[in-house]
Each structure stands twice: as structure tokens, then as C-alpha cells.
Chains A and B, each alone.
Chain A
Amino acid sequence: MCTVILVSGFLALWPLQRNIDQQLGSSRNIADVLYLPSGKVLRRLSLGHDGLLADIYWTRVVQYFGRRRLAHSERFDLLGPLLRITTELDPQLLIAYRYGSLFLAEKPPGGAGQSEQALALLRRGIVANPDYWRLWQDLGFIYYWDLKDYPNAAKVFRVGSERPGAMAWMKVLAASVAAKGGAIETSRLLWLEIARQAGNEQIRRSAEDHLAALDAQEQIDKLNALLALYQKREARSANLLQELVAAGYLRTVPRDPSGVAYVIDRNGRARLGSHSKIDLKLLQ
């Protein structure tokens, strides 16, 4: 008898809980709550298990960011506070500074578009881990890519290149940014390095998307130069790229990195084909 009551009791719990969840609806969504807003307080309360709490908070960052991205949300209100708590709990958790700053800095819908918070996070990381040169690389990257602040980017890359164990290319990068600002080859060097280091599929894919967009932008610039030359020599604008092929300016109609042929728009400028998977907005 007791066994029957026990089993049926547990079985009844399931529909009952589902019913309660449905009634409470969105008010039950407790995922976007900080619980305790201060990492320092949490650290005190952890009784020496602050590392474990930092891991839990870092996992919350990853889950929160992933969920928002999947929902194509443009609001990432908790991302900054969650990262602050994570790094206050464990100031040596380097991955939180590195990936966290990328999550914060990238423009919506890919990221939070909070470059200033990303800079603040990395600066805190540098204070806590002064010998880790990669944080300087990430800081310089945000100045370079997100803020287009090339003098500061060059300065940060140069200071980072002087940290122990820094790769020689950091010096090259510092010089290149100082001399050429936002040149495509400098951007490519940075994204190649991010793709090479990425330990996470999402970040690697993002870096590859940026690299593909850079390649496409470079090809479009070259095509526009050819179109201008064609117009000057032939005294008329080309409507199709096949005309440039026929005139010997191109061997074949070029395709973008996603394999879709470029086209000419109404203004006579080269652009991506309508089925292209390349996102040039990533370069803005």
C-alpha cells in the first residue's frame, strides 16, 4: 500500500509541477538574477571555496551569453556584472578576462557592444595578472577593432610586447598599427591570431567569419578599382562582371569566401551576391 502511495505520489508531482510552472510563466524565469551583486562578499561567504564559485559564475556567464545570442537579443545587462563577480571571486581566471572581453566588446547581436566595460575588465585583469601579456593583446585589440582608436591600440601593443614571454609579432603589430592604422592586413593578422588561439568553437567561428569578411572586403575594393579602370578606358560602366572577363580585366567572375559570385549594383559598384553568407557588417 505504502509503495503504491509512494510511486503514485512521485508520479503526481510531475504534472502538478508542470501546472505550477505554466501558471507562474515568465515570472519563474530566475536565470537572469545576480543573487549577490558583490564578488568580494561572495568570496568571504564561500569559506575557502571561492574557486568553485568562480567556476559556477563563469559557467553562468557562458550560459547567459549563449542564451542571449541564440535569442538574437541586443540586451546583455547582466554580462558585465556576472564577469565582474567571476573575476572578483578568482582574479587569476584568465579565460574570464579573455573571452569575457570579447563577449562584451562585440557589437550586437553578436555581443553586448559594451567596449568600455570590456576595457575595464581587461584593465582589472592586467592589474591582477601583470605578467600575462595576452591581456595586453586583447586590450589593444579592443582599441583597434571596436573603438578604432589606433594610437592607443599601438601604445597598448607596444607595452604588451615588453611583458615577459610576449611574442615577437606584438612589436610588429604595434609598429603596423602606428604606421597604417586600420589597414586590412593588420586586421587580418589580429583575427588570424584570435582564430589560432581560440579554444572554443564559437570564438573560432566568429574569428573565421571576420577573416572571411575582411577577404571579401579586400576583393570588393579591388573589383571597384577594376570597375573604375574599365569605365575610364571603355568610357562606359559595366553592368555585369562578365563584361570585365570578356574585356580581359578578369580571368573569371570572382567568388567570395562563401563561394557566391560578386555582382555589380545599380551604382556600378561591386557587392556581395544576394545568397552570400558573408556578413560585411562585422567590419563596421
Chain B
Amino acid sequence: MRIVTIAFHTFKESVRERVLYNLIVFALLLIAAAILFGSISVGVEQIILVNLGLSSISIFGLLMAIFIGIGLVSKEIERRTIYSILSKPVSRAEFIIGKYFGLLLTLFVNTAIMTAGFYLALFYQKRTLEARDLSVLSAVYFILLQFAIVVGLAVFFSCISTPILSAVFTFCLYVIGNFLGDVRWFGQESQSGVVEKATTVLYYLLPNFSDFNVIVRVAHGEKIPGYLLLSNSCYALLYVTILISAAILVFEEREFR
């Protein structure tokens, strides 16, 4: 119950951020621009709308996740509100979990708004919506899973570092997480046992964001298989659990003066 209260308050606090509305407006403008962009190309009008629409949702959601996530804990410390919260019967673990779910809820609501904007643009372009258009939702779901991990990273770094460094670390890990396949391949090509082992460890240790990249497949009308939905959901759940546990561990040990 206490987690729900903290989450709800975090959500209310997040939606007051002006940057959030700016990012949503930018994303919706980009989705609308996809219609114009399609008209200067040939034969790919709908593919462009899906690609640009989903990429906008992903990129702007990612920016929201990083820039709001990094301030979740540090702001409370900076404003010294952390003392009044922790003086109440709230454990540090509940505080972190509540904060995490609060931001996730914010991102969920924002993604829902952007997805509604996307479907509106699709309806405007096609003058109809079909059952197969729902396949886009599987890509949106994967984007949300990415956000869940990114928020986890942001919360974790927010517990151990300054907001700017947290943003840098989170963004770097997101980029590396998209290149993990290459990192492993470089290791295999290096002809060095140590490097190969190190890159293999990194491959399994760091969050593999490329698992969630299905935008192109959805844009070509491909259906995402159930096993991928299940395995990616399990992967995200497991990774978020690890990150939140690590954040709680660090936060439990932290001293506030």
C-alpha cells in the first residue's frame, strides 16, 4: 500500500514536469509529420508512418525515462524531503520500488497518449483501421519493456551518482546495450581467449536492448511470435528485478547528512 502511495505521488510529481509535455508535443508533431514525409516518397507511406511513429515513441520516451529517472532519488536528497519521507514508517526498499513504479506509470500514460496519436495518424492516412494494425501494439509493448529497463538503470545510477553522471551512464549503457552483439563478435574475432571471455561476460551481464528492436518487422506487417513476447517479458522482468535490488542495496547503505 505504501509503495502504491509513493508511486502515485511520483506520478503526480512527474506529470508536473514541463519537459514532459514538450517531449509529448514533439513526438506527436513528428508522428503527424510522417504523413507529409510519406508524400514525398514513393510506395512506403504506411511503412514510414509506422517507422517514424514508433521511433518517435521510443526516442522521446527514452528521453523522458532518462531525464526524469535520474532526478527521482537525487531531487529528494537535494530538497531534503528524503528525511521527512524516511522518518515515516516507510522502508528504503519501498521508497525505491514506489519511485520506480511511479515513473513507469508516467511513461506508460505518455506512451499510451503517443500511441493514440499514432493510430489517429494511421486512421487519417488509411481512412480505416484493420485488425492487423493491432500488431503495432507488440512493438509498443517492447518499447515499454525497454523503458522499464532504462528507468531501472536511471534509478540505480540516481542512487549512486549525481544527476548529470547518472544521465551519462544510463545513456551509455543504452547505447552499449544496442551493440552487445557486435561486442561479442569482436571478442570472438580477437583471437584472444581473455578478450573473448570478457566480451562474452559483458554480453550476458549488460542489458541487451537489441532484443527489443522489432519496429522494422512490424512496419512490414510481420507478426511478432508469442515466444518472443514471453521471453522478452521474462528478460525485462528479471533485469528490472536485478537493477531495483541493486538500487535498494546501495540506497540502504547510503548515509544522509
Contacts and interface: CB of A to CB of B under 8 A. Distances in A.
Interface of A: 44, 47-52, 54-55, 58-59, 62-63, 90, 92-93, 95, 99, 199-200, 202
Given A47-B178, A48-B209, A59 B40 contact: yes
9 contacts: A44-B182, A48-B213, A49-B59, A51-B50, A55-B37, A55-B41, A59-B37, A62-B40, A63-B40
Contact of A95 (B43, B52, B55, B219): B43
B40 A51 contact: no
Q: 5 tightest A-B contacts by CB?
A: A48-B213, A51-B216, A95-B43, A59-B41, A51-B51
A143 B59 CA distance: 44
Interface of B: 37, 40-44, 47-48, 50-52, 55, 58-59, 174-175, 178-179, 182, 209-210, 212-213, 215-216, 219-220
Contact of B52 (A47, A50, A55, A62): A55
Main secondary structure, interface of B, reads: helix
Contacts of B182: 44
Main secondary structure, interface of A, reads: helix
Nearest to A103: B42
Contacts of A51: 47, 50-51, 55, 215-216, 219
A200 B42 contact: yes
Nearest to B53: A52
A200 B44 CA distance: 11
Nearest to A62: B42
A49 B58 contact: yes
Contacts of A48: 58, 178, 209-210, 212-213, 215
A199 B43 contact: yes
Contacts of B43: 95, 99, 199-200
Given A55-B48, A55-B52, A90 B40 contact: no
B41 A58 contact: yes
Contacts of A52: 51-52, 55, 215
Contacts of A200: 42-43
Contacts of B215: 48-49, 51-52
A132 B181 CA distance: 29
B20 to A, nearest CB: 22
A90 B41 CA distance: 16
A63 B41 CA distance: 8
Contacts of A90: 216
